[in-house]
C-alpha cells in the first residue's frame, strides 16, 4: 500500500517480528485507542496449530495491558506478507472480529483487499451479527 497512515506503518513494523515458521505468513496489526496510543501485535505460530495467536488479538492484549479493561479501540490496521515477501490479503478472522467489536464497537478496520486496494470498513460491517452476552 503506497499511502500509509501511521497505523499502517506500525502494522508493517509489527509483521517483521512475527513467528511464522510453519505457514511463513507474517501478519502484523496495530490498534489505536481512544487515548491516541498505538499498540502493535504480530502472529505467533505453534507446532500445535490451534495454540498460535493472531496479530490483532496480540495488539489488543497489549492495549488492554497498558490501559486496562476500559480501553476503547478506535482503529485497527492489518498487514501481511507471504513466504515470497508479497503483500497478502488478510482480513481479521471471526475471533478477532468479535474481540474488536467488544473493545471497539465503533472501530474502523483497514486491511489489503482485492487488487491491492486498501479496504476500510467499520467493525459492524465486518461482523453484522456479533455475539453478545445478555446483561442482567
* Active site amino acids: 56
The residues facing 32 across adjacent strands are 38, 75
- 29 CB contacts (<8 Å, ≥6 apart)? 11, 14, 40, 41, 42, 54, 55, 56, 58, 59, 76, 77, 78, 79
Amino acid at each position: 500500500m503506497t499511502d500509509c497512515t501511521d497505523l499502517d506503518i506500525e502494522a508493517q513494523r509489527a509483521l517483521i517480528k512475527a513467528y511464522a515458521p510453519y505457514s511463513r505468513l507474517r501478519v502484523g496489526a496495530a490498534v489505536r485507542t481512544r487515548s491516541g496510543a498505538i499498540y502493535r501485535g504480530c502472529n505467533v505460530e505453534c507446532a500445535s496449530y490451534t495454540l498460535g495467536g493472531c496479530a490483532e488479538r496480540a495488539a489488543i492484549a497489549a492495549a488492554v495491558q497498558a490501559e486496562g479493561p476500559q480501553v476503547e479501540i478506535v482503529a485497527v490496521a492489518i498487514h501481511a506478507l507471504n513466504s515470497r515477501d508479497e503483500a497478502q490479503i488478510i482480513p481479521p478472522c471471526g475471533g478477532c472480529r468479535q474481540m474488536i467489536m467488544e473493545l471497539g464497537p465503533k472501530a474502523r478496520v483497514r486491511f489489503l483487499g482485492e487488487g491491492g486496494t486498501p479496504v476500510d470498513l467499520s467493525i459492524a460491517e465486518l461482523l453484522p451479527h456479533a455475539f453478545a452476552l445478555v446483561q442482567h
